[in-house]
Amino acid sequence: MEKSNKVNTSQLIGDFIQRNRKPIFISAGAIALAFIGSIVTLLLMDTFQRRAISELEELRERYHALHFDIGEETLTSELQQLLVDLSAFAGRSSGFVSGSAWAMYARIYSERGEWPQAEAAWRNAASAAARTYLGPVALFNAAVAAEEQGRIAEAIELFGMSVSHNEPFPAAAHAQFSIGRLNETMNNRAGAIEAYRIVLARWPEVLVWANLAQSRIIALETGVY
């Protein structure tokens, strides 16, 4: 009886496969193609990533070689070409690689004191590398560039974004202190004290900024500047 049931079950399965062999084989083929496609995609991504990193290193070498030319009154032709190549590379790349290219682009303009271009590039770096440690670093530098242009409200916002970034940021206490400092320049005493108190609450172990924040709170609360 049991043997008969096994035979019947096997026959039913065989009949089912025979009747539906075409869709079954098509489905199996589709699964196989998808699997192969995913492997090929991963291999291509790895190849492109390696190529992008290699190209980024070449750009970095050019940047370091031209570093002493950055402070010249006018951009040399080599620096101009480097800026063009950095922008093009960053535009066709993504993630940390793109952000790194934008950061080099931004450093050139930062060192030249051309703050609008520097800020724009730092913002691009922050956007491209948002999921890496470079994200908050770029936002911090964009805040510095905004402050250099006298755009204090935007600088406060950018410092705040660097502090609240998802990625760890070693200079977060510095950024938070800068929020207090800039609020002072805007005569926002309450905002400055609140910002300084956040430094004390969140980073008491970072003594440089904690001590400075404490001294500024005392100065603002006692009126002794």
What is the predicted pLDDT for the residue at 6?
46
- To the nearest 10 degrees (0 to 180), the angle between helices 207-222 and 189-202 is 150
Q: For the chain, which residues make up each domain, given as ranges?
A: 2-169, 170-225
Residue 118 to residues 32, 51, 54, 115: CA-CA distances in angstroms? 49, 27, 25, 5
Q: In a 10 Å sphere around its CB, with 0-12 CB exposed, 13-18 middle and 19+ buried, how is residue 60 labelled?
A: middle
**Percent with pLDDT over 70 in the chain:** 78
Comparing 27 with 53, the larger pLDDT belongs to 53
213, 180 Cβ separation under 8 angstroms? yes
pTM, two decimals, is: 0.79
CATH class, 2-169 region: mainly alpha
Structure token pair of residue 29: 């083929």
User: Does the pLDDT of residue 33 top 70, yes or no?
Assistant: no
Question: Pick from 183, 181, 124, 132: which is nearest to 153 by CA?
Answer: 183
What is the predicted pLDDT for the residue at 150?
97
| C-alpha dihedral (32, 36, 41, 44), degrees to nearest 10 | -170
